[in-house]
A and B are shown apart, each in its own frame.
Chain A
């Protein structure tokens, strides 16, 4: 089947209980991607669980624990069509305990919608709103839109909307290098349906696009088809009658049925039998496509989240160690050699040790201010040497930028961000 519209992957991010899942559910329902009967069923289930109002969130949250607790735990994908795009929505968890799943989700996105509660203007920017935006930036998401949600709780007040917009622009977006003038701030009430797909009658003062119109304003993603094939694996299924089906987003290169592929660092290889996107077979997968592909000769137990698929003639690089340029965003003490936090790169999460601090840089100019510093602290930029404690795939950012970036987390915080500038390969 030929593809008519370009594919766009959009991650929904933001603090817990801002209404990400509900916004996504509403978006799908109002665009006709969900059967009204199903929603009726979910509504009953939500009421039975004493969680009335969660029916839209239940569209995406299908795990038993997610529904019981009313919290998204893992990312969920759903497809729907706008005027211009075939959109894959990646609904991310907002709770801080599940940030690692959020990173997996955000690493698959071309653009992001930040959902915030309009009432946050009174209390300040929520910690995960801040952290998610940091991570989105680190993962290279350049296009964002903001949904200022729960407008119904402030009587659709323009004043409250402006306050929130100002706070986000001044305290977060500008700091991260986004230009607030180029970002749509959409006042929404997802539970009621205002400004998601249907233009709201409650907010005549708002002249901008609705959320779905804002999605159409995003630019289509670049397609680095000339780079070697890389598909970070998000999950692996074993389907009766079909076989092993890894899923993930094609970052670079092209995958076709019949291709021989290799998974690193697992080191196993197989042959691609078929490729599917949203339950439809496709003849080839390009960058940006979120696909599942059936591989013969590989068992489900062989591969896992964090592995990367490539062609055997140019396999993904497994790092023995790598040199990275990092910026320390926030750290309560100091970073020295021997420090071992968790590195999040594409869908992989691996604890890595700092084995050498090579240079401390001026964060503004990039000039070397100290050779072989003894320690690094908040605000420092540096070139460091890193050794993963378990095998992991990371690429030189100059060769395959999509797989060269990473975020560093420890003690429940994102403490630094960076990119690999030299990789000592184990498998080449």
Chain B
């Protein structure tokens, strides 16, 4: 994310999102009633004699809309902002509906009543664009899963199977193993990343590393090897929970959120310094007991929740908006989408 211009007296910030994570941030901070200005395309109909249906030509223009709704489409990598036109060229009627589509590297200006956590999020997004890109390979001798770590989510790229077996001949096994390692290495070479974490149980990860050292020396320096206890998605979760990602990715958003949720679950299990659900959180807020408020991003558009966020910030508590795109975020959603870590116990 880049900030192109800030006009504080008008509450306007002009931004350029650079990747999917940035779009995700936009999706979360744009609310109903905000004003968005951007270059966009719109069909303009000629108002003359309409004998044949004429859909009109598409024209590029600079429009301003008042937001009614925001949609996020991960597949086409676009944020769709729906609203009514409040500013535009003379031949476009004000008040008619329009949808602005934002994809990476599009510029847009947002005029709104900025909240503290929204500014924080933009700052974080700017920071994160400077961070290295990371791939994670979770593997053992049978199977390897490759993941791309993004700021707010983790995407599974592919899963590769080895087909080796203890009952096969030694030579065949070695060949299959090589084929398997080549296949993984090929996928890794396709991605332009700064770091690759190879993690897994057993010895396969080390022998893979040795293989890379001799066969793909250009990948060697990017690779970090770590031990974990399981493969597949559960192995990936272990990588995140244990903070292994943080060591190579500075502060990963997913890891930070996951660790906060883990802390929350631990406290809940002990009946300790934690509350969850709107009613309990409100009560804890009356005691000024909330140290960190965790809010699922699926809830931030809700007015009641907004009030809770504001009150928490006034009382000096931290607010963390947790993405619902990763496993820990889903767990928070299951607990009502809002929870708090407390400074001191309340009854």
Contacts and interface: CB of A to CB of B under 8 A. Distances in A.
Contacts of A351: 232-234
Contact of B265 (A97, A375, A409, A412): A375
A63 B228 CA distance: 22
A337 B165 contact: no
B253 interface: no
B141 A73 contact: yes
Interface in B201-233: 201-203, 207, 227-233
Interface string B170-182: 1001000000000
A338 B327 contact: yes
Nearest to A332: B266
B203 A374 contact: no
Contacts of A331: 269
Interface string B97-134: 00000000000000000000000000000000000000
B166 A340 contact: no
B230 A412 contact: yes
Interface in B316-336: 327-336
Contacts of B27: none
B230 A304 contact: no
A333 B266 contact: yes
A91 to B, nearest CB: 11
A301 B227 CA distance: 29
B241 to A, nearest CB: 7
A100 to B, nearest CB: 7
B268 interface: yes
A375 B234 contact: no
A100 B140 CA distance: 11
A11 interface: no
B303 interface: no
A95 B167 CA distance: 20
A237 B173 CA distance: 12
A304 B203 CA distance: 22
A73, A75, A336 interface centre (most CB from chain B within 10 Å): A336
B203 A341 contact: no
A332 to B, nearest CB: 7
B230 A342 contact: yes
A410 B229 CA distance: 8
A389 interface: yes
A211 to B, nearest CB: 24
Contact of A74 (B166, B241, B269, B335): B166
Nearest to A292: B167
A242 interface: no
A411 B231 CA distance: 10
A122 interface: no
Contact of B237 (A305, A340, A378): A340
Interface in B163-197: 163, 165-168, 170, 173
A301 B237 CA distance: 28
Interface string A201-230: 000000000000000000000000000000
Contacts of B167: 235, 237
B230 A410 contact: yes
B269 A97 contact: no
B161 interface: yes
Contact of A377 (B229, B233, B269): B269
A100 B232 CA distance: 12
A69 interface: yes
B173 to A, nearest CB: 8
Interface string A371-383: 0001101100000
A237, A304, A333, A342 interface centre (most CB from chain B within 10 Å): A333
A349 to B, nearest CB: 8
B168 A340 contact: no
Given A351-B233, A412-B230, A73 B331 contact: no
B32 interface: no
A341 B161 contact: no
Given A334-B265, A336-B331, A342-B232, 14 more contacts: A63-B173, A235-B165, A300-B163, A333-B262, A336-B334, A337-B331, A337-B333, A338-B327, A339-B327, A340-B237, A351-B232, A375-B335, A411-B238, A412-B230
Interface of B: 140-142, 161, 163, 165-168, 170, 173, 201-203, 207, 227-234, 237-238, 241, 262, 265-266, 268-269, 276-277, 327-336
6 contacts: A63-B166, A237-B167, A237-B168, A340-B234, A351-B234, A411-B241
